[in-house]
Amino acid sequence: MSRNPMVVRTVPALRRTLDGLRARKARVALVPTMGALHDGHLSLVRLARKRAEKVVVSIFVNPTQFAPTEDFGSYPRTWKADVEKLAAERVELIWHPDVKTMYPEGFATRISPEGPAVAGLEDRFRPHFFGGVATVVGKLFTQVRPDVAIFGEKDFQQLRVVTQMARDLDLGVKVIGSRTVRERDGLAMSSRNVYLSAEERRIAPTLYKTMKASAANIRSGEAIAAALAAGGQTIAAAGFVLDYLEARHAETLAPIGSLKDGPVRMLVAARPGTTRLIDNIAV
Ligand code: PAF
């Protein structure tokens, strides 16, 4: 039988518990999440287990990365199921602070990331997002002081922002990206997929299929701009409102005109209805 992870909710309790976990110089990996855990998150936990002796998962739905018009209130919260899944993975510790612990009365400091955070991708549509993510992840890193932290490649711009932040602020944590986990039909796993109607779910894999086809065309010599224009048309014809389909330098996220200036990452964001889907692949 799997043992339930320890759950801590205050910073002093977190520090005490971590001191115990670090005995005999055990390395600590952090997997930051907002809960509503699916197989994609569990793959992050498994990678964390390979990289460290002790695994800490944070579950905190971070209000500062949601705009007032977004789904903070209705974001799926599945605490009991999350704990069961983490127990089955033998996670040692769940860090589960409440909003007042993370943002106490009078909280007045915010990290304002630049570089990949202002690349003109997600930031164009969710200008509040990366400031909120960088601030909360900066806090999680200083609270837990992990040796490594694992983030999904599915949120590729987020991965680049957090990697840059850890480097720029000398946070002493190695940020590791983990491969996107997909449903059998190619849809990238996401906690927000539960919002999709049956029809939206049916067309959702178009994003991955189209990116794969466009990437193959680019590799066989088609100009990047032409491949993206055709891919965008396919996505729109399937019934999406397309926010962007872009090819960027995989490290800097700067626009890129040719494969030889790579490595190249293709990134997409589109709405099959009210839910916004994002995905990306290497070209
Ligand atoms: O990717 C997420 O789930 C969140 O953006 C994160 C990194 C846990 C910060 O709240």
Residue pLDDT, tens place only, 118-132: 999 999 999 999 999
Tokens of 23: 């005995």
Ligand 1 center from residue 155 Cα (angstroms): 9
Comparing CA positions, the residue from 159, 184, 139 lying closest to residue 278 is 159
Please report, for residues 140, 158, 191, the alpha-carbon distance to residue 131 in angstroms, rounded to integers and kept in the order given: 14, 11, 21
- Centre a 10 Å sphere on the Cβ of residue 75 and count the other Cβ atoms it contains: 17
Contact 148, 176 (CB under 8 A): yes
Residue 3's pLDDT is 81
Of 3, 72, 1, 4, the closest CA to residue 35 belongs to 72
- Which one of 30, 33, 56 would you pick to mutate in the ligand 1 pocket, going by the greatest count of ligand atoms within 8 A of its CB? 33
| 102, amino acid identity | M
Percentage of the chain with pLDDT > 90? 97
User: Is it the case that residue 104 has pLDDT exceeding 70?
Assistant: yes
- Cα→Cα distances 147→40, 47, 48, 59, 144, Å: 21, 13, 10, 18, 9
Residue pair 263/156 in contact (Cβ under 8 Å)? The answer is: no
What is the chain's Cα-based Rg?
A: 19
Taking the complete model, does pTM exceed 0.85, yes or no? yes
pLDDT on residue 1: 55
How far apart are the C-alpha atoms of 12 and 143, rounded to whole Å?
10
| Strand blocks (E) in the chain | 6-8, 28-33, 54-59, 93-95, 148-152, 174-178, 241-249, 264-271, 277-282
Q: How far is the CA of 34 from the centre of ligand 1 (A)?
A: 6
In 52-146, where does DSSP find H-type helix? 79-88, 99-102, 122-125, 129-144
Whether the CB-CB separation of 132 and 65 falls below 8 Å is answered with yes
Q: Pick the residue with more confidence: 142 or 24?
A: 142
Nearest CA to ligand 1 atom 5: 133
pLDDT above 70 for 9? yes
Q: How many residues does the chain have?
A: 283
- What distance in angstroms lies between residue 278's CA and the mean position of ligand 1's atoms? 14
Average pLDDT value over all residues in the chain: 97
Residue 145's nearest CA partner among 126, 173, 113, 107 is 173
- Among 57, 153, 155, 160, say which to mutate for ligand 1: greatest number of ligand atoms within 8 Å of CB: 155
Lowest mean pLDDT among 21-25, 80-84, 219-223: 21-25
For residues 143-158, give the mean pLDDT.
Answer: 98
Question: Parallel, antiparallel, or unpaired for β 148-152 and 28-33?
Answer: parallel
- Determine which residue's CA is closest to atom 3 belonging to ligand 1: 33
In tens, the pLDDT along 221-269 reads 999 999 999 999 999 999 999 999 999 999 999 999 899 998 999 999 9
Alpha carbon distance, N-terminus to C-terminus of the chain: 43
